[in-house]
Amino acid sequence: MKIKRIATVFLLFTFCLFWLATAALAAGTENGEEQELRVLFTHDLHSYILPYDVADGADGRTTMGGYARLATLIKENRTDNTVVLDAGDFSMGTLFNSIFKTHAPDLYLMGEMGFDATTIGNHEFDYGAEGLAAALRSASKAQKRPAMLNSNMVFGNDPESKEIKNAFDAYGSSATKIIERGGLKIGVFGMLSQVAQDYTVNYAPLSFADTAETARDCVDSLKAQNADVIICLSHGGTNPDIEKSEDQQLAKAVPDIDVIVSGHTHTTLDTPITEGSTTIAGCGWRGEHLGLLDLKLEADNTVKVDSYQLIENSRDVTMDPDIASSINTSKDVVQQEFLTPLGKSFDATAAVSDHNFATVDDLLGHFDNSDLGDIITDAYRYGAAQNGVDADISLVNAGLVRDTIYKGNLSESGVYNILSLGSGSDGSVGYSLVDFYLYGSELKTLCQIDVSMYPMMQEVQFSFSGLRYTYNDSRLPLDKVTGVETQNADGAWTPLDEDRLYRVTTSQYLANMTGLITKMSHGIITLAPRDKDGNPVSDTNTLIIHTPTGTEAKEWIALSDYIHSFPVGESGLRTIPASYNIAREVKTPVDNTLVTFFANPSSIALAVYGIIAGLIVLLIVIILLIRRHHIRKHRV
């Protein structure tokens, strides 16, 4: 009995020691121990799987980026307490788009690189909800794949929604996830913001719940699972105007989020934004940097930033051989399944340029004329003409342009990268060209939108072919344009006829976004494509230009074909004409004078002037009545 008692006491003592050790490990910070967590992060990778060109000086070029180099950076900076996260738009931007539905190369490679989780961005819907579902079905076969966190996505009960949900379930998608590292529980969730939804035209039949309400629910759920750190993968972004900065507003609304990895706006945050106790991090786009955020969980369970850096994914980084091999396999699939049937080759030289064209950052960072916009809009009209559509005018907005032309050889894949978004109504790769009409007054409105909305919405900036205008920036918004001219077939310029229907060609995406323009202007502006009789057209699929073989005419193929129409130079290669060395004078500012300030006012300006005049008259009447009252009172 005595031996039995001793054995029992020993076992109880051993159990207590084990329990105390486990409790101390699980709640280390409660016992005064600091714990560390490293977050490696990306967002807006946009299928830049291979290294890409960037400008190096006025007329130089170099390369950076690529997943093989990114994989090396992840390996070099990973610790035992590291999570690797991405905030969406991992797809759409290069020729790898062409096998998105069938092979999902982005998700496969992210799995191989060791990403723990990602979320859905607006461009994952470029092939529609069913296209995304197809990609997830393909990626579900991968042994390694990042968790897909779609916290505010709502599936309907209709058969199509259920089929799409089955694909998400097969992949293993969820609203939240607990990732355990070094005794820490990291709670992660991901969302698509309202602004990003506005740029998503193909997510039907799915819908999205309110981000703040969803975030609160996710935080509560993760706290109930004893999460030590809570991280939101937000495809929402930041803005210099804090009221429009979605992720800062999210941090204010849900202060218990420790970290927001901020995607969508492609913002490079050299220093993280601190909003309350929330840290907002961003590292640019195309994998130009790997973000690194070191956190400390202190004794009182508060999460503090220990260090933060953006590691450049430069050409000096060694490529990981295993990832490079996987990339080459995917590249071969693109060539065999997509390019060869089109008679094109991934690395073949399409043409030679003798200068660097304006970059995407130039288009988004400066309101100005653009040589890149010139060649794209000319290509639109060329592509339309090749398919029997003689367009008077074409236009492209800055948000559709994803890359540029650099001095030297321009490859076929480089041509595609310039206009690399979207799909046609038939699911084919790339946005289709459309053919429609607008009244001259509506074209003038587009010019007004261009110059007036740019400060608020840089991606709206237009480039035109066949149209030019002058503006006075001192005038009222939506009244800045002082004159518009269109170009005749013989090259002569004539004043815009506001009552005439002009034939226009552009990307179907831009035609579909007229509704967003109406929303952004709070209904002040209403625009809609029209048929040749001037009737509004709501279904832009009926406006798609088709080739003689019946396929949809593509904007990127129009650019490729236009470049292939250039003459062969002394080098034996096609050469981009010198006429594109300097941007055309499409939009020209004029001096602010009384004449230029009040000439040709818009209906909006007339309404404002009318209100001002009415208020002045009312003020005069009030003053006269008061004066009259005082005179009478004085007489009495």
The total of other beta-carbon atoms located within 10 Å of residue 174's CB is 17
pLDDT (tens digit per residue) in 358-374:
999 999 999 999 999 99
294-303, 326-335, 380-389, 625-634, range with the lowest pLDDT: 625-634
Compute the Cα dihedral for 123, 125, 128, 132 and give only its sign.
positive
Partners of 41 in beta bridges: 85, 291
pTM of the complete model beyond 0.85: yes
> Rounded to an integer, what distance in angstroms lies between the CA atom of residue 284 and that of residue 72?
19
The pLDDT score that the predictor gives to residue 2 is 46
Within 10 Å of residue 136's Cβ, how many Cβ atoms? 25
User: Average pLDDT, stretch 246-273?
Assistant: 97
Burial class (CB in 10 A: 0-12, 13-18, 19+), 83: buried
Does 25 have pLDDT greater than 80? no
Contacts for 42 with CB less than 8 Å, ≥ 6 apart: 70, 85, 86, 87, 283, 287, 290, 291
Do 195 and 246 meet the contact criterion of CB atoms below 8 Å apart? yes
pLDDT in tens, 488-509: 989 999 999 999 999 999 999 9
The residues with which 259 forms a beta bridge, in sequence order, are 231, 279
pLDDT in tens, 145-184: 999 999 999 999 999 999 999 999 999 999 999 999 989 9
Helices (H), 175-233: 194-198, 211-224
Mean pLDDT of the chain: 91
Strand partners, 274: 279
Task: Report the DSSP pairing between strands 467-471 and 587-589.
Answer: parallel
| Region 469-474 average pLDDT | 96
pLDDT of residue 611: 79
pLDDT at 111: 98
Which residues are bridge partners to 464 per DSSP? 395
Instruction: Evaluate whether 462 touches 397 at the Cβ level (below 8 Å).
Output: yes
Question: Would you state the pLDDT for residue 200?
Answer: 85
Give the β-pairing of 153-154 and 289-297.
unpaired
| 395, pLDDT greater than 90 | yes
- H helices within 140-258, ranges in order? 159-171, 194-198, 211-224, 246-253
Q: Are 281 and 295 in contact (CB under 8 A)?
A: no
Q: Is the pLDDT of residue 68 over 80?
A: yes
Per-residue pLDDT for 214 more than 60? yes
In three-state secondary structure terms, 101 is helix
Q: Which residue has the higher pLDDT, 334 or 56?
A: 334
Q: pLDDT > 90: what percent of the chain?
A: 80
Instruction: Give the mean model confidence (pLDDT) for residues 198-224.
Output: 94
Backbone angles phi, psi at 476, to 5 degrees: -65, 150
Mean pLDDT of 74-83: 97
At 16, list the tokens: 């207590």
pLDDT recorded at residue 620: 82
Span 507-538, pLDDT tens digits? 999 998 876 676 666 777 778 899 999 999 99
Q: Which two tokens stand for residue 614?
A: 């009415």
23 pLDDT tier (thresholds 50, 70, 90): very low
The tens digit of pLDDT for each residue in 406-446 reads 999 999 999 999 999 999 999 899 999 999 999 999 999 99
